[in-house]
Amino acid sequence: MVFGALFSVMNPFGTVPVFVSLTKDQSIKERSAIAFKASLNVLVILLISFFIGKYILVFFGISINSLKIAGGLIITSSGFALLTGKFSEHKGMKKKNVKVDLASRSEISLTPLALPMIAGPGTISLLITYNQEFTAAQEILFILVAILFAAISVYLILKSSHYFVRILGASGINALSRIIGFVVIAIGIEFIIAAVLSIIKTIKL
């Protein structure tokens, strides 16, 4: 469940076209190295979000319900971006920006790949929420395992991205992203509904 939610919100398949564009002049070995660094950066960002995110909430005085609603809106908007085929633009990666990044960046594994393309605000808010809701040692262990598997999946998908493009083509990747988009929208709506119900219960009490 946690892995499915993480994978859907991160949507590494949506990053495949950007990765291919940014690494088209690189060798297979260089692409693998970039994919590994990007997945490692994703892992670090996810762990920091899960363990330190709650302190950010306390510092700014943000309630868990407010985070759920804000995160739900971000996740839902990402889902709509996937459905309309505008995921890259939603993440601030227009075609012009891709060309500029390719010419100006010597290291793309952190930005734009890991952040904001994969481990964006939606993923970060999701993990902060999980940290607040799941506090038992066994639950935390399951989440950490899910985070690890999510990072590994990012590496495998990015490493194989050029093969995905050849096999599926741009239309196939877009279709897959749009299917994932439905799941992402549902996750975002669930966040919002849960927060609203919690607020209503508090008001009744």
Q: Six-digit token pair at 79?
A: 């889902």
The predicted model scores a pTM of 0.81
Q: pLDDT tens for residues 82-127?
A: 787 766 665 555 555 555 544 444 478 988 889 888 998 889 989 9
Q: Write down the pLDDT at residue 94.
A: 58
**Per-residue pLDDT at 80:** 85
Domain boundaries, the chain: 2-204
40: nearest Cα among 128, 91, 105, 110: 110
> 149-168: per-residue pLDDT in tens?
999 999 999 999 989 888 88
| Cβ within 8 Å of residue 170, ≥6 positions away | 17
What is the per-residue pLDDT across 8-39, written as a single tens digit (0 to 9) for each? 999 898 888 888 878 888 899 999 999 999 99
Closest CA relative to residue 151, chosen from 47, 30, 24: 47
